[in-house]
Chains A and B, each alone.
Chain A
Amino acid sequence: MIAALRRFLGIGERRSITASLNDTLELCVGRRPAGKVRARGRIGRRRVAVVERTPGEGDQPPPNALHVLLDELVPSLSMRQRAQLFDLVQSAVLDDLSRPGSAMLAGNLLLLRNRLREPLPEPSGAPAAPQRLIVDNLFGADERTFWVFGWCRDDDGALAAAEIVSPEGQRAKLLDGAYRFPRRDVEEEFAATGIGTTVKHGFANLIELPHPSPLVDGWLAELRGSAVDFELSLPAAIRDPVTIRAHVLAESANERPDIDVLRRDHARPALDRLQAHVRRSIAIEEVVQHGEPPPSPEVSVIVPLYGRTDLVEHQIAQFWNDPDMAAAELIYVLDSPELGNQLTHEAALLHDLYGLPFKVVRVNRNGGYATANNLGVTQARGRLIVLVNSDVIPDRPGWLSHMREFHDATPDVGAVGPKLLFEDESIQHAGMYFHFEHRTNLWENQHYFKGFSRTLEAAAVSRPVPAVTGACLMVDRELYQRVGGLHEGYVQGGYEDSDLCLRLIDAGKRNWYLADVELYHLEAQSLPIEVRHANRYNAWLQTHLWSDQIAQLMVAQPDLPRAEVAALD
């Protein structure tokens, strides 16, 4: 019976067997392999090779499933031979994890890892041997970069090494370079066992693997040391960008004296990788032009839409009867794909009702405020662009040509931002400055005269300012692109505008507050907690990137008393 099975499986007297690792790669044991050899070696007396199979080549028997080969082979291998076999196969195929369709290969590597690895014991959990390490969260910022968050108590110093093992068997040091911080919850839980309260048990670490890890399940941690050899199964890796971003931002919003270390060494690279990862899959899905666009617009107005589309009607009701808007190019950029069909339908009807030509750019997924604007700019034909929030409503027609005339008449102009008003006629924006917040040690953005009367004399003067808000900002399109557009490293719509203004100053330009043009900006009143976390991070990133320039700039522009600001310049 067994002999017949072996014959059927192609395992002949020479005890040779092949198994597929993915569509093209095979693991061959025993027989001389057909096809291009990736790697070969001897495990004991057996010849082992990884080969690239060419379809239709020769009359080779079809390969087996890998577990069949392993059932046959593994019982006869020593632990050392098993490790050798795993190293041989893994090193031959890891590069293929970067290729499309790597899931099958990764799954087979996980199978190999589990069958060829000598497992360490799992922790007993007995009171005498309390839990030593827990990974609470494992987040994939991209295919190779993982944010690992948890705690480790090693009060007795017994732990010599902690490694994290990916499903495909890639290894990385778990705690090397980690940001450590106190975990009150852990201290409370283990208070009875005399846990140290001066020790930082918590850790957050951004771990980079040499190769992608496409699987979410199968992560391990191996802990070794005097009397502590054991392993742990880790939670599945989470890859949802929204969840990851919220976690990383919340952790980096903690106020600790050394929190900048977390931000600099872990949070920023994690968020940058995450954004780059998301960004790679972002594409313009559809561009619909409603009506006949102006033949050669001087100005392109770009309005990003996120999470809601109802304000489009309110803007178009105010835009359509303004000759300036009819001559300009109006571009809505929607990066909330779930609202795409709704907007497409509404936009067509709004065009029919109002007759104003405009363009709707649909982006396939949300990539943040900066990305939406930058994508919108790629669709713009105007010499000038105006970034406009969807909750900005002009006070009266003609605002656009006023801004354009001012822009064009001002030498070395960077960004131009008008007076923005709340719905109760108090000032929302009359230019921005940077304020050093001692509580957080960060340069934060502040608006001149916010909350003061629309008719305030000091706000009636157009003047250079450190920055203007992106809620309504005019800039030369080529200049915008030359300085790199909005920086996509900021999160969830904050500080991209001031960062742009700083880059414009860096490029020798000056940003201007324009007092004669008034629009309303219905700035949201209450910010969700995630946005507050994002703003803290964004303020840090701005400070990290620009603190010297900002400090220099603000020496020339004291922020108090505000009334004197108008007298400057």
Chain B
Amino acid sequence: MKKKRVLYVLHNHPTLRPGGAEAYALELYRTMREQPDIEPVLVARSGRGGDIDPTVHPGAPFSVVGSDPNEYFLYTDTDGVDFFYETYRDKSLYTVYIADFLRTFKPDVVHFQHTHFIGYDMLTLTRRLLPDVPIVYTLHEYLPICHRDGQLVRTTTEEPCLESSPRRCHECFPEWPQAYFFLRERLIKSHLEHVDQFLCPSNFLLERYVDWGIPREKLRFEDYGRIPQEPLPDPNPNRPRTRLGFFGQISPYKGVDVLLEAMRVLGQKAPDVHLDLHGANIDVLPPAYKEHIETRLAAAGPNVSFVGPYTPGDVPRLMANIDWVVVPSRWWENSPLVIQEAFMHKRPVVCSRIGGMAEKVTDGVDGIHFTKSNAGELADKVRIATSTPGEWERLRDGIGSVYSMDEHVASLRAIYEGLDRGSAAGSKAAPLLAEAPG
């Protein structure tokens, strides 16, 4: 029986630079590799800007990652990327090299995990070269909608944003005239039109893309699947549940400064509460923000330990050492992988009451919500939760099972099947843009 060849396209390989979506995508690829009737192919972008020098062959952006003949780096030069239109300026990347790759591998399904650093043009090219092949696109954030790193956070007020328009986006980026945001949206939509099925790891994200004009029938909720992990036994099961953990990128959108401010308050009111800060990518922060975080870290008392980067393999041990996972993001988030990890390790989550976080964590059931950016409220809620006997155990018991990679793979296989042939043609005929008013 011929295996179904599924091409996965990814904006970064986790061996080059850690990242949640990347780690998930690699897990998915490796799980798919175990399927008897599926032959996955992985293309992950490499390029300058990472801390590991990518392999570059003269005249060939593709190179193998290791011994796996189906796993490739695709080199693109960061300076060659137009980050406004999310396109690679030298179109021969598509017309020569990626075209060659697609013709060589002839995938039966192309599943984009991301096109950042590669460009949306690859969607159009794929559709032109492989007119009958289903195109699936997993939406990890809001990059097509929002030029602010896809975060839906306004540059003017740092407030989350629910309304993109040429005028509003121009307010965030005065250096770009309104008309350019119009062109940006039109160009990106012209490429996204070729996607048969968008996968949305949160309903919140799904609704944002409906608002943006993607037809609802093309959007489908599908959370990240995770390879189940058994929690390690707690070193001291009878300890007071006063240890907080932060896991993830230290970026302005993640709200680490809010958490540090809450820890300063807690240092006086509840000195037993401790925070382990497991943060990556502090080296690539904008200098001003890096300084801001470093100042906060220096000012924090003995109740904060900055542990630094970690690998996925470290997570069980790190989770065993803490009791609560805090997700204090200032942006909407989508489906934070750290919430799934916390739940797999039976750790209740304290998170901002917005977007994908509020969707994934139920206040009072498996975690606690606080008002985004409100360090005082965060401190209060942590103080009350950690000092209320039985509260941690109650919330821990409220944690349900996490969507498993096996369930996810089964669902993806059904999606790929369903898009095959007839149904794919039907969905392709649907225009991306809703009919204009008037």
Which residues of A are at the interface with B, using a C-beta cutoff of 8 A?
311, 313-314, 317-318, 321, 346, 349-350, 352-355, 391, 393, 395-397, 422-424, 454-455, 460, 518, 520, 522, 525
1/0 contact string of B166-200 vs chain A (CB within 8 Å): 11000000000111011100110011010000000
1/0 contact string of B84-95 vs chain A (CB within 8 Å): 000000011011
In contact, A522 and B128 (Cβ under 8 angstroms): no
In contact, A525 and B183 (Cβ under 8 angstroms): no
Given A353-B95, A460-B438, A522-B179, residue A314 in contact with residue B186 (CB < 8 A): yes
In contact, A353 and B182 (Cβ under 8 angstroms): no
> Which of the 9-residue segments B252-260, B314-322, B429-437 touches chain A?
B429-437
Within the complex, the shortest CB–CB distance from B213 to chain A, in Å, comes to: 12
In contact, A318 and B124 (Cβ under 8 angstroms): no
A-B CB proximity, top 10 nearest? A423-B182, A352-B95, A349-B91, A522-B179, A317-B190, A455-B438, A423-B166, A423-B179, A314-B183, A353-B95
CA distance A352 to B128 in the complex (A): 10
Which residues of B are at the interface with A, using a C-beta cutoff of 8 A?
91-92, 94-95, 99, 121, 124-125, 128, 165-167, 177-179, 181-183, 186-187, 190-191, 193, 431, 433, 435-438
Q: Which residue of the partner chain A has the closest CB to B166? A: A423
Q: Which residue of the partner chain B has the closest CB to A348? A: B95
Residues in chain A near residue B121, CB distance under 8 A: 353
Within the complex, the shortest CB–CB distance from A418 to chain B, in Å, comes to: 13
In contact, A424 and B186 (Cβ under 8 angstroms): no
Residues in chain B near residue A522, CB distance under 8 A: 179, 182-183
Q: Which residue of the partner chain A has the closest CB to B438? A: A455
* Partner among A317, A395, A454 whose Cβ is within 8 Å of the Cβ of B191: A317
CA distance A396 to B436 in the complex (A): 8
CA distance A317 to B128 in the complex (A): 13
In contact, A393 and B178 (Cβ under 8 angstroms): no
CA distance A395 to B193 in the complex (A): 14
Given A355-B128, A424-B165, residue A350 in contact with residue B183 (CB < 8 A): no
In contact, A395 and B190 (Cβ under 8 angstroms): no
CA distance A51 to B372 in the complex (A): 97
Q: Which residue of the partner chain A has the closest CB to B191? A: A317
CA distance A234 to B133 in the complex (A): 74
List 27 interface pairs A-B (beta carbons < 8 Å), by A numbering. A317-B186, A317-B187, A317-B190, A318-B190, A321-B193, A349-B95, A352-B91, A352-B94, A353-B94, A353-B121, A353-B128, A354-B128, A391-B179, A393-B182, A393-B186, A396-B431, A396-B433, A396-B435, A397-B431, A423-B179, A423-B181, A423-B182, A424-B166, A454-B437, A518-B436, A522-B182, A525-B177
CA distance A191 to B99 in the complex (A): 76
* Partner among B125, B193, B437 whose Cβ is within 8 Å of the Cβ of A353: B125
Residues in chain B near residue A317, CB distance under 8 A: 124, 186-187, 190-191
Within the complex, the shortest CB–CB distance from A323 to chain B, in Å, comes to: 12
CA distance A423 to B190 in the complex (A): 16
Residues in chain B near residue A314, CB distance under 8 A: 183, 186-187
Query: Interface centre among A350, A395, A423, by most B CB within 10 Å?
Result: A423
Residues in chain B near residue A354, CB distance under 8 A: 124, 128
Can you add 16 more A-B contacts, CB < 8 Å, to A317-B190, A318-B190, A525-B179? A311-B183, A317-B124, A317-B186, A321-B193, A349-B91, A352-B94, A353-B121, A353-B124, A355-B128, A396-B435, A397-B431, A423-B166, A423-B183, A454-B438, A518-B438, A522-B179
Residues in chain A near residue B435, CB distance under 8 A: 396
Query: Interface centre among B91, B92, B94, by most A CB within 10 Å?
Result: B91
Q: Which residue of the partner chain A has the closest CB to B129? A: A355
Given A455-B438, A460-B438, residue A318 in contact with residue B95 (CB < 8 A): no
Q: Which residue of the partner chain B has the closest CB to A352? A: B95
In contact, B95 and A424 (Cβ under 8 angstroms): no
Within the complex, the shortest CB–CB distance from B138 to chain A, in Å, comes to: 23
CA distance A350 to B435 in the complex (A): 27
Q: Which residue of the partner chain B has the closest CB to A459? A: B438
Query: Interface centre among B92, B121, B190, B435, by most A CB within 10 Å?
Result: B190
Residues in chain A near residue B436, CB distance under 8 A: 395-396, 454, 518
Within the complex, the shortest CB–CB distance from A59 to chain B, in Å, comes to: 66
CA distance A469 to B438 in the complex (A): 21
Residues in chain B near residue A395, CB distance under 8 A: 436
In contact, B177 and A350 (Cβ under 8 angstroms): no
Q: Which residue of the partner chain B has the closest CB to A394? A: B186
Q: Which residue of the partner chain B has the closest CB to A525? A: B177
CA distance A349 to B91 in the complex (A): 6
Within the complex, the shortest CB–CB distance from B107 to chain A, in Å, comes to: 19
Residues in chain A near residue B166, CB distance under 8 A: 423-424
In contact, A393 and B438 (Cβ under 8 angstroms): no
CA distance A346 to B91 in the complex (A): 8
* Partner among B94, B187, B433 whose Cβ is within 8 Å of the Cβ of A313: B187
CA distance A455 to B193 in the complex (A): 25
Residues in chain A near residue B165, CB distance under 8 A: 424
